[in-house]
Structure 1
């Protein structure tokens, strides 16, 4: 059975960059009729917060990305301890005592000599007496996985054939001096014991994947199919990491962006297929093809979500947005007509209160200086509400006859005066919704 996972750390809110891994792994599992696991990477007790766990679940639920079960790494520490002992017995895990300062000096020395900053494995030569002496000094040992210094090769689902010389990579630290199990080990143990068959993550994890392949083999696991998607940049190719604070999924949701817009964009961005609006997550899954994605950095522009959201909203009925209409305080009896008028004239649902305020309280008139007398004369000819479907044509006909104005010179100043906008819905449909005289 195809089994995938999404393993976020609950140390902050999910952002648009996180979503690619979540969506790709979800689509692979659902398309194959398999299992999708939400795995909370909370082995760091200092930074992990329960509010972020709740936030992760809320964001995924908003997008329609349902999970089959939740796993928490903080509840699996005994499994990581067992793997630690297994690797020690196999001669693949060794204790080191260098301080961060000492390691930094080693790296700088290697770089100055024109060598790659790879850990020199000095700890392998330590005797038990030397280790005890370090412990007596108060140093806490950290643990590194001893790589087999051969070439590590796999066929990546996006990048193609990958070959990395393990001798060019430092033996990875799996357990910190304070005992905290790091992502590299926890992920390997979990992927192995949970039967993960496919892993999609960012291309910044390629080297991690190489070391984890050896670790999986060392504990007797089956290596999953790996794929590494391109990293997102800003619209000008700038590093997206500087803007992630403004691209949290919860903030996009609060701004009125539709989940369907986010899913439709992210399911195709960086692929050879065009972005197409999908009505729901099921349609996104059906149209998903990992092989269509490339390795080049992918430009993401949050402004692209607006038009997609607008197109999605235009396809909805007033029943679909009943909760939002109620929140905007649109009376229930006017909701069908109100939605029919505004749905093609909003970018997000966050625009609803502003539109309803126009009908309920009247707009701030937009009147050019040369039109002031004309608008005043025209308004004097308009009675009080309620208005009907014929009010606009009857009124403008009367104004035309009285003033001689016609065409754009007649209609545009009145539209701008009534709605405060130069563009918008048909005025014949607007007038019956006005609760006050303009």
Structure 2
């Protein structure tokens, strides 16, 4: 058996880091088990689904390092769902209901007042042919519910019926079907809700493991019953905890909160996103992992907490810095070229500045300082101006090697008797215009003697 997993978002917006967590869990699980990863778009909601969002999702996943073995669209598979509907109808497991939302809401309220669970009472099963004809004459169209197997012989007398599975994340799980309403599988307008197409596709595509958020735990009990009704074995399920904002709010594609697109545009590295998305809310320490292969070594579904995990965007910056600070020039070279860093100084420049970057794009500002000098001329006291002029007069002749900064400052210290901050800060300000930054010993050879003299106040 080939392990086969799927990531199945609705293309109704750009995916966020919570969606990426699910995708990464599936991808890493497939990689660990030498399996297949199917990208499936649950786009049966034709009114809200957009191809641009599907394309954007694929771009985001590829940016993260996730590559699918196949891409499927539910909107192209309606014949399969129609056939499943007919099979369930023929078995007496899908029945028409004519209640309006208002009528259903009233019934739920009545059941609550009687101390009963607010589940659907299966009133539609008791409709006479005359009542059905009357509804049809009034222009009502039915929605269709799946008859849950939670009774012995009379559907009006449900009894506790447990569905069990060993969850990859949560361990032994149980759902009582008697506590649930018969789910609506087909709307009045003939369109499908999520539940049935998902099961049909999982069967048809040979999905062996379903890894998704724990907001689907109850759905799993229902879907396992539908798998059996369609004559199929259910896959193995794993339900991971969800990510929330620091304030505890859920993430949403509709609001664009912490979208992968937005994080990418803000300069966050893909492995910073992947590291945090996978490791937060697990027994593993959150750390900056350099490659997806290495991240896979830290990935363990069973190590995921059962409670929701708060996601702090500030942690991304910490991970981003860690990745940049050890990023080799070979990995940064092409992106530096796009920033204009393209001459023979590119590699020593990168090695000099990478330890001071929050985002790779910040290197552009440092390159401008190296090439053009400080963005704004710093202001100095008369005393510091006199000191700097003396210092620049002592600038060593070329050629300059790695020791030029040490040779220069030793000579300045001897001539001026300045040391510590009083010596180094005016020199840093004159050379870069900033009070902090890369080691001047690394920057000075990049400036060259002529470039350094050009900064003499």
TM-score normalized by structure 1? Answer: 0.92
Q: Shift of the alpha carbon at 1:45?
A: 0.9
Q: Deviations over 1:147-171 (max 9, x none)?
A: 1121222121111211221111111
State how far apart, in whole Å, the 1-side matches of 2:246 and 2:399 are: 47
Tell whether the 8 Å contact from 1:261 to 1:277 is kept in structure 2 after alignment.
yes
Q: Deviations over 1:307-363 (max 9, x none)?
A: 222222233322212221112111332211211111111122121222222223323
Say which of 431, 439, 449 aligns to 1:418: 431
Which residue of structure 1 lines up, in the alignment, with residue 275 of structure 2? 264
Cα–Cα, structure 1 residues 215 and 393, in superposed 2: closer, same or farther, change >3 Å?
A: same
Mean CA deviation greater in 380-389 or 151-160: 380-389
Q: Shift of the alpha carbon at 1:379?
A: 4.1
State how far apart, in whole Å, the 1-side matches of 2:78 and 2:278 are: 34
* 3-state SS of paired residue (1:182): coil
1:41-190 to 2 correspondences below 5 Å: 41-149=42-150, 150-190=161-201
Cα–Cα, structure 1 residues 374 and 98, in superposed 2: closer, same or farther, change >3 Å?
A: farther
State how far apart, in whole Å, the 2-side matches of 1:241 and 1:262 are: 15
Cα–Cα, structure 1 residues 410 and 43, in superposed 2: closer, same or farther, change >3 Å?
A: same
Cα–Cα, structure 1 residues 400 and 185, in superposed 2: closer, same or farther, change >3 Å?
A: same
Q: Shift of the alpha carbon at 1:418?
A: 3.0
State how far apart, in whole Å, the 2-side matches of 1:240 and 1:410 are: 52
Cα–Cα, structure 1 residues 112 and 372, in superposed 2: closer, same or farther, change >3 Å?
A: farther
1:235-254 to 2 correspondences below 5 Å: 235-236=246-247, 238-241=248-251, 245-254=256-265
- Tell me whether 1:224 sits opposite 2:224 in the alignment: no
Cα–Cα, structure 1 residues 387 and 133, in superposed 2: closer, same or farther, change >3 Å?
A: farther
Unpaired runs of 5+ residues, structure 2, are 151-160
Cα–Cα, structure 1 residues 77 and 176, in superposed 2: closer, same or farther, change >3 Å?
A: same
Q: Deviations over 1:389-437 (max 9, x none)?
A: 5554455445445543211221123324432433322102112334573
* 3-state SS of paired residue (2:331): coil
Mean CA deviation greater in 281-290 or 193-202: 281-290
* 3-state SS of paired residue (1:320): helix
Cα–Cα, structure 1 residues 283 and 397, in superposed 2: closer, same or farther, change >3 Å?
A: closer
Cα–Cα, structure 1 residues 109 and 415, in superposed 2: closer, same or farther, change >3 Å?
A: farther
Unpaired runs of 5+ residues, structure 1, are none
Which residue of structure 2 lines up, in the alignment, with residue 372 of structure 1? 381
Q: Deviations over 1:168-222 (max 9, x none)?
A: 1111111111111111111011111111111111111111111001011100111
Mean CA deviation greater in 182-191 or 243-252: 243-252
State how far apart, in whole Å, the 2-side matches of 1:421 and 1:169 are: 64
Tell whether the 8 Å contact from 1:40 to 1:72 is kept in structure 2 after alignment.
yes
Cα–Cα, structure 1 residues 160 and 128, in superposed 2: closer, same or farther, change >3 Å?
A: same
Tell whether the 8 Å contact from 1:365 to 1:418 is kept in structure 2 after alignment.
no
State how far apart, in whole Å, the 1-side matches of 2:243 and 2:433 are: 39
State how far apart, in whole Å, the 2-side matches of 1:192 and 1:164 are: 21
Q: Deviations over 1:233-280 (max 9, x none)?
A: 2235x1133796241011111222111222222222222122343322
- Tell me whether 1:407 sits opposite 2:417 in the alignment: no
Cα–Cα, structure 1 residues 93 and 365, in superposed 2: closer, same or farther, change >3 Å?
A: same
State how far apart, in whole Å, the 2-side matches of 1:123 and 1:386 are: 94
TM-score normalized by structure 2? Answer: 0.88
* 3-state SS of paired residue (2:344): helix
* 3-state SS of paired residue (1:241): coil
State how far apart, in whole Å, the 2-side matches of 1:373 and 1:398 are: 21
Mean CA deviation greater in 115-124 or 426-435: 426-435
Say which of 205, 208, 212 aligns to 1:194: 205
* 3-state SS of paired residue (1:333): coil
* Aligned-pair Cα RMSD in Å: 2.4
Tell whether the 8 Å contact from 1:391 to 1:428 is kept in structure 2 after alignment.
yes
Cα–Cα, structure 1 residues 314 and 225, in superposed 2: closer, same or farther, change >3 Å?
A: same
Which residue of structure 1 lines up, in the alignment, with residue 153 of structure 2? none
